[in-house]
Amino acid sequence: MNEEKIYTGGCLCGAVRFKARGEPVNSSHCHCDMCRRASGAPVVTFIGFPIEAVAWTKGGPKIYKSSSFATRGFCPDCGSQLTFQFDKRPERISFNVGCLDDPEMAHPTRHLYAQEAISWMKMEDGLPRYEDGSGGGS
């Protein structure tokens, strides 16, 4: 019998908590400038789920329209970046893997915006690299 996977996580201060059930639809390393600035990290890894698989179990994120095509969710108290969501895909939401209670559960499968990667950030993991955010269409 296969048990359903449950992913849990939250922000730095604990004011916002979430749970996602089932298999993720994707997991990606993003090298774009906006993700770097939003997170303060040289690369951000996200894991995406169908929106119906996600529940906020404590509090909820403050939503910020970070570009003409996407929003990001942050803890309203500590500022931790929690989510990313494309406007054209409201049925999906992605979580910053660093906010998962068990980030080992995430298994990235690709690099997005590879042309924007910082030159000294070498990730030689053999995963496919895409020049934009399409990631091969998924």
Specify if 70 maps to a domain.
Answer: yes
> Burial, 107: exposed, middle or buried (Cβ in 10 Å; 0-12, 13-18, 19+)?
exposed
Residue 133 pLDDT > 80, yes or no?
Answer: no
Measured CA to CA in angstroms, residue 43 lies from 31, 69, 101, 107 at distances of 5, 20, 19, 15
Q: What is the pLDDT of residues 74-90, one digit of tens each?
A: 999 999 999 999 999 99
Q: In the predicted model, what is the mean pLDDT of the chain?
A: 94
Per-residue model confidence as pLDDT tens digits over 17-43: 999 999 999 999 999 999 999 999 999
Structure confidence at residue 3 (pLDDT): 82
Provide the domain limits for residue 81.
Answer: 6-116
Dihedral angle of Cα 131, 133, 137, 138, to the nearest 10 degrees:
140
- Does a structural domain hold residue 125? no
Q: What is the pLDDT of residue 132?
A: 82
The pLDDT value recorded for residue 60 is: 97
* pLDDT value, residue 138: 43
Number of compact structural domains in the chain: 1
CATH number at residue 87: 2.170.150.70
- Residue 34 within a domain: yes
In a domain, 138, yes or no: no
pTM: 0.91
Query: What is the mean predicted confidence (pLDDT) over 62-70?
Result: 95
pLDDT at 91 exceeding the cut of 80: yes
Pairing of strands 54-58, 81-86: unpaired
